[in-house]
Amino acid sequence: MPRRMTMGSMNTSPRLGVGWSTHFDRPWPVRILYRRLRYAYRAPSLFAEQMIGAGATISFLRFDERLLAEDLDGTQMALADAVDFLYLSTHGENKSAAYKVALHGADWSPASSGIGAAGPVIAVFDTCDLVDFSDANWMDSWSQGVGAALRLILGFAGPATVNQSASLRGLAFAENLQAGMPIAPSWLSAVQQTSLPQTDRAVAIAIGDDDDDAEYILQQSTLSNPPPPRTADTPSIRAEVCP
């Protein structure tokens, strides 16, 4: 039976870390493949505004040349350790079951840099290709690399539309959370609510102590009932998509 989660600290005032990358500094000729994401700022900004209006606090807000891989991977700082919610919007790549986030100057591989040592509890990677389900080993990096605090990873299985209209998913996600909808369904429905029909596929990945725990996180964890840090050494991974 799924066990009841104890209350975390997040229910009083969730701490947010938000960031985005709109343009990318890469050597030629690869640079031409990193298309500018003019509207990448919108989804995290809309999310943050709506959440702050309901009592959340901002721990960091960084973008473009000020959002550095070394401030996220622990080389200089571990900014994400100090937040409950991390929301990043930029390009994402998934090759050989390894997901990386393209920041302005360099890529960041969240799983291999041990994201979740102390935070975040929930990470939203508003990018393409968080998961490639055609790779049978898709869950390996998330089951091996991440810290005990990280319990829910939200993103896309495939492309993620970036434009003004689709970026309203940041607002939709926050609004669903505040209405009491569980966290994973809040994300899955937010993407559905703001996407063109039959296009973007949202995904939620739960990291549990065992299968029941992961299932509980996926279905029932809410803003007021967030999951506490994982205790088992070997995590169990469950995923859900919007059909």
| 3-class secondary structure, 98 | strand
Interface with another protein in residues 127-146 (CB under 8 A): 127-129, 132-134
Give the containing element (helix H, strand E) for 174.
helix 169-178
Q: Does 39 bind another protein (CB under 8 A)?
A: yes
Q: Does 226 bind another protein (CB under 8 A)?
A: no
Pairing of β 107-108 and β 98-102: antiparallel
Among 58, 76, 159, 224, binds another protein (CB under 8 A): 159
Q: Does 219 bind another protein (CB under 8 A)?
A: yes
In the complex with another protein, the residue whose CB is nearer, 153 or 242, is 242
Give the containing element (helix H, strand E) for 16.
strand 15-20
In the complex with another protein, the residue whose CB is nearer, 13 or 193, is 193
Among 9-17, 112-120, 140-148, 178-186, the segment contacting another protein (CB under 8 A) = 178-186
148, 230 contact by CB (below 8 A): yes
Q: Does 32 bind another protein (CB under 8 A)?
A: yes
What number of other Cβ atoms are within 10 A of residue 57's Cβ? 12
Q: Does 164 bind another protein (CB under 8 A)?
A: yes
87, 126 contact by CB (below 8 A): yes
How far is C-alpha 3 from the geometric centre of its chain's CA atoms? Answer: 24
Residue 32 gets which letter from DSSP?
G
CA distance 236 to 213: 8
x-or-dash pattern for another protein, window 67-96, by CB under 8 A?
------------------------xxxx--
Sites of contact with another protein (CB under 8 A): 30, 32-39, 91-94, 102, 127-129, 132-134, 157-166, 168, 171-172, 176, 179-182, 185, 188-189, 192-201, 218-220, 238-243
